[in-house]
Structure 1
Amino acid sequence: MKRLLAAALLMATPLAFAQKKSGDLKVYFVDVEGGQATLFVPPTGENLLVDAGWPGAANADKIVAIAKVAGVSKIDNLLITHYHIDHVGGVPDVAARIPVGRFIDHGINRETNDKATETSYQNYQKLLANGHYAHLTAKPGVILPLTGMHVEVVSADGNVIDKPLAGAGATNAACAASPLKDAENTENDRSIGMMITFARLRIADLGDLTWNKERLLMCPVNKLGKVDVYIVSHHGFDRSSSPALLNAIAPRVAIMDNGAVKGAEAGAWDIVDHSPRLKDLWQLHTAIHTDAAHNSNDSRIANLPGPDAFHYLVLTVHPSGSFAVTNSRTNQTVEYPAR
């Protein structure tokens, strides 16, 4: 199965997608069926895999196959945003297939009343105990000790940064009109959120951070500033991506790691799609549980309805600050100018 999957991915992948000796940052959005697995590969320095999707061989094989496409033979850093099964469940399977140097997480599991979450966390703890891995607990305000790109932690374990990031801090006019929601009191609330900067381009990845916790970053002032690329929180569930967040960070491009029947809820999709600077909203799957008005154009979707074809999206960030998104299904690339 592993060899067949890798072969299928590589046969469907233009050579231009693979990581080359260039000055570009490549970000691969792996289709793990509505989980998250995002591989950042800078031109020099250390790579970073954010989450590892669901448990099981199929998703782990997809991640390893994409690593091969990217020219990666070792995961330098594997960051776990939180301990829900669709984010950490695949970690042992991935670690069994490709070497991992360091794990990064937010600390202990806080959602002990959920069996799947606690089991996923305990499996991860067994892996740490039985292996020879470096380990780092992320805290808000910390710059991760990675080389090749700048990664600043803005949320972790339910806490957020005290002060705005450099260049941020403007009053957020969207706060007054953005509805309030209660905290979930789940691991989602405790997601590691990051601002990733490369060549003046800013990427926001907040994991599954919820509406209530977003507000601590956004109101009364926008602590994050504007971004170029927003990795849509929580797969597009409407418990995340509040108007206060989207109107303030105002991404130029959004990328949603939804599944065919998971995420991409109409309310959240609308908020992202109507954010003030958005040019394109890309999806890993057509959301078959909603309507055409709440799905992007097919050209901006990696996997259309039907059998799983393992297609993925690639974000390429050029040293000039311009960037592009490539759809592996269509082999088409859309370019976006530098700010």
Structure 2
Amino acid sequence: FQLSFAAVIGLFLLGGRFRALLGRMPRPVAEPAAVTMAASIATAPVSLAAFGQASLVGVVANVAGGFVLGPVMLLGMLSVLVGLVLPPLSTVLNVLAGLLIAFLLEVAHVCARLPLAVYEWRGPTLPLLLAAAGLAMLLVLQNLAARAGMGVAGFAFARRRRPLIGLAAATLAAVSLVLAPCGGRAPGAPTLTILDVGEGAAALVQAPHAPTVLVDAGPGPLAGSLRKHGVARIDLLVLSHGHADHTGGVPDVLRSLKIDRALLPRPPTADPSLDRLQKELENAGTRVSRCTAPLHLACRGYELQVLPTHGGHGGSNQDENDWALVVAVTLSAQRVLLPGDVEGTALDEVVEGPFAVVEVPHHGSSGGLTDSMLADCASQLAVISVGANSYGHPTGEALAQLRAFGVPCIRTDRDGEVVLSVSGDGDVLCATQRPR
């Protein structure tokens, strides 16, 4: 509602101005561009306050693909009517509409990957909304003053209009105060970021005045991504298991950042990769512990559970996965599951839902999540941490399973890193940044 209301106000106040500005351009280009610019500017403050980001490529996307919206709607309506008497023809119309929709989606994906496609706002929301309200009021005054043949100052401070102007200012300020706490992530709210590390896994948990936790370290250099998120120190590093796609970034992090503590699994048989990592961490001054029992860490803003699994007998690649650590993070009563490469029944044995967000085990391999877990979890979102690979990740079976349970899916190879937080209303907020 807030976005729709702001868009209408934008079209009313700015639509005509942009049409005049683009008057020399062809109408099929000028019209959607003017409408998009007016709506984008008006909705930007609400979008920044609610989601922490706003698109900078909406005009390009609408001009490039918006012309298919009319034909899609027409084909859809015709399909409904024709389907009542001639279903085969309705199928043809649906196929044509599907092709146009596929084109529109491709335009959206291409535009989302453009440099500087998204502007992110990390500041407080109230000043942003008050500034937007003040600008809207100024535009209204300018329109009214132009109609009265006066300047803005003379119109606003005319004695007989002072009560009206005061009431308008108070109304706009009240609307801003009402909108400010709605939906958006509060400044400095706890976040869980599933980093885009390619075919691997790394997740960052942050909150004001609370320990910074890194769960796994991806397959390669990671310090740059951590610095981008303002990380100057890792208070706790949790390594789910010793495979390189989850630990390869540790040397790079150690060269750039201090890691205070590290938590590693203790498989039943010796694991040379884990032993080597422990020695490397200890040589850098990190205090290393092996996790053999569930660990619960309650911090300001989030809770962390580290659960050791007991699903294998040592030796094989799959056994190492099943003897890994599983992490569950709670952000304001919303739980997020980070299972690493632990799959199937081995995962079912150690975790208990519900989870609002689930990272799909083993980069989207088949059998990672059981049907019973998906049924119990009632997940609002699934995230697959994946990159270019020769294993077929994510598999068609894993994607089909998520679709069957109605769980929307985000992939880091397509959508980039995923930042999860919780709104003041308790809803899960998800923001993505395009792939590197």
TM-score if structure 2 supplies the norm length?
A: 0.53
Counterpart of 1:325 in structure 2: which amino acid? C
Give the Cα–Cα distance (whole angstroms) in 1 for the partners of residues 251 and 268 of structure 2: 17
Is the contact made by 1:184 and 1:210 (CA closer than 8 Å) also made in structure 2? no
- Alignment match, 1:35: 200
Aligned residue among 282, 292, 295 for 1:129:
282
The code of the aligned residue for 2:428 comes to: F
Aligned partners of 1:252, 1:242: CA distance in 2, in Å?
16
- The CA deviation at 1:202 is 0.8
User: 1-side partners of 2:250 and 2:425: how far apart?
Assistant: 34
Per-residue CA deviation, residues 242-282 of structure 1 (Å, 9 max, x unaligned), is 21222221210111101133521111122223225x2x210
Indicate which of 249, 253, 276 corresponds to 1:90: 249
**Amino acid corresponding to residue 359 of structure 2 in structure 1:** I
| 1:274-285 matches, cutoff 5 A | 274-276=404-406, 278=407, 280-285=408-413
Sort the Cα spacing of 1:315 and 1:48 in 2 relative to 1 into closer, same or farther, 3 A: same
Q: Which position in structure 2 is the counterpart of 1:154?
A: 307
Structure 1 residues 48 and 270 mapped into 2: Cα distance closer, same or farther (>3 Å)? same
Instruction: Give distance in 2, aligned partners of 1:197 and 1:147.
Output: 11
How many Å apart are 1:135 and its aligned residue?
2.4
8 Å contact from structure 1 (residues 242, 271) kept in 2: no
What is the deviation of 1:27? 2.0
Query: Which residue in the other structure is 2:363 paired with?
Result: 235
Cα separation, 1, equivalents of 2:266 and 2:298? 17
2:345 corresponds to 1:212: yes
In structure 2, the residue corresponding to 1:103 is in which secondary structure? strand
Paired with 1:252 and 1:319, the residues of 2 have a C-alpha distance of 17
Structure 1 contact 64–98 (Cα < 8 Å) conserved: yes
Structure holding more helix per residue = 2
- The separation in 1 between residues aligned to 2:403 and 2:386, in whole angstroms, is 15
Q: Secondary structure at the match of 2:256?
A: coil
Q: Aligned residue for 2:259? A: 100
- Which of the residues 310, 321, 324 maps onto 1:188? 321
Alpha-carbon distance in 2 for matches of 1:131, 1:82: 20
Q: Which secondary structure state, in structure 1, belongs to the residue aligned with residue 321 of structure 2?
A: helix
Deviation at 1:185, TM superposition (A): 5.0
SS of alignment partner, residue 278 of structure 2: helix
Q: What residue in structure 2 maps to residue 265 of structure 1?
A: 395
Cα 1:252–1:275, aligned 2, differ >3 Å: closer, same or farther? Answer: same
The CA distance in 1 between the partners of 2:394 and 2:281, in whole Å, is 33
- In structure 2, the residue corresponding to 1:33 is in which secondary structure? coil
Structure 1 or 2: larger strand share? Answer: 1
Specify the code of the residue in structure 2 equivalent to 1:121. Answer: L
Question: Measured at CA, do residues 133 and 157 of structure 1 come closer, stay the same or move farther in structure 2, by a change above 3 Å?
Answer: farther
Q: Give the deviation of 1:81 after TM superposition.
A: 0.6
How much has 1:157 moved relative to structure 2?
A: 5.0
Larger RCO (CA within 8 A; separation ≥ 6): 1
**C-alpha distance in structure 2 between counterparts of 1:207 and 1:107, whole Å:** 15
Q: Which runs of 5+ in 2 are unaligned?
A: 1-114, 125-184
Paired position in structure 2 for 1:322? 427
Q: What TM-score do the two structures reach when normalised by structure 1? A: 0.67
Query: Could you list the per-position Cα deviations for residues 20-51 of structure 1 after superposition, in whole angstroms to 9, with x for gaps in the alignment?
Result: 98242222222221100111112330111111
Gaps of 5+ in 1: 1-9, 113-117, 160-182, 218-222, 286-300, 303-310, 331-339
| Segment drifting more, 235-244 vs 199-208 | 235-244
Shift of 1:17: 6.0
Structure-to-structure mapping, 1:112-123, within 5 angstroms: 112=271, 118=272, 120-123=273-276
Structure 1 position 139, deviation (Å): 3.7
For 2:378, the equivalent position in structure 1 comes to 250
- Structure-2 change in CA distance of 1:241 and 1:327 (3 Å): same
Q: Which residue of 2 aligns with 1:175?
A: none
Return closer, same or farther for 1:275/1:154 CA change in 2, 3 Å cut-off: farther
Q: Equivalents in 2 of 1:184, 1:124: separation in Å?
A: 18
Q: 1:18·1:71 contact (CA, 8 Å) conserved in 2?
A: no
Q: Is the CA contact (8 Å cut-off) linking 1:111 and 1:186 kept in structure 2? A: no
What CA deviation, in whole Å up to 9, does each residue of 1:41-70 have, x standing for no partner?
Answer: 12330111111111xxxx31xx32222222
Cα distance, 1:108 vs. partner? 4.9
Alignment correspondent of 1:26: 191
Cα deviations across residues 99-139 of structure 1 (Å, max 9, x unaligned)?
Answer: 11110111257475xxxxx3x32431221331221223334
Question: Is 313-322 or 10-19 further displaced after alignment?
Answer: 10-19
Whole-angstrom distance in 2 between the partners of 1:110 and 1:17: 46
Query: What amino acid is aligned across from residue 252 of structure 1 in structure 2?
Result: Q
Matched with 2:215 is 50
Asked if structure 2 preserves the Cα contact closer than 8 Å seen for 1:110 and 1:186, the reply is: no
Look up the match of 1:164.
Answer: none
Q: 2:331–2:421: 8 Å Cα contact kept in structure 1?
A: no
Q: CA RMSD in A?
A: 2.9
User: Quick one: structure 1 residues 69 and 137, their matched pair in 2 at CA, closer, same or farther if it must change by over 3 Å?
Assistant: same
Task: Count residues with an aligned counterpart.
Answer: 256
Quote the sequence identity (%).
Answer: 24
Judged with a 3 Å threshold, the aligned counterparts in structure 2 of structure 1 residues 17 and 141 are, in CA distance, closer, same or farther, namely same
Measure the CA separation in 2 of the matches of 1:239 and 1:208: 11
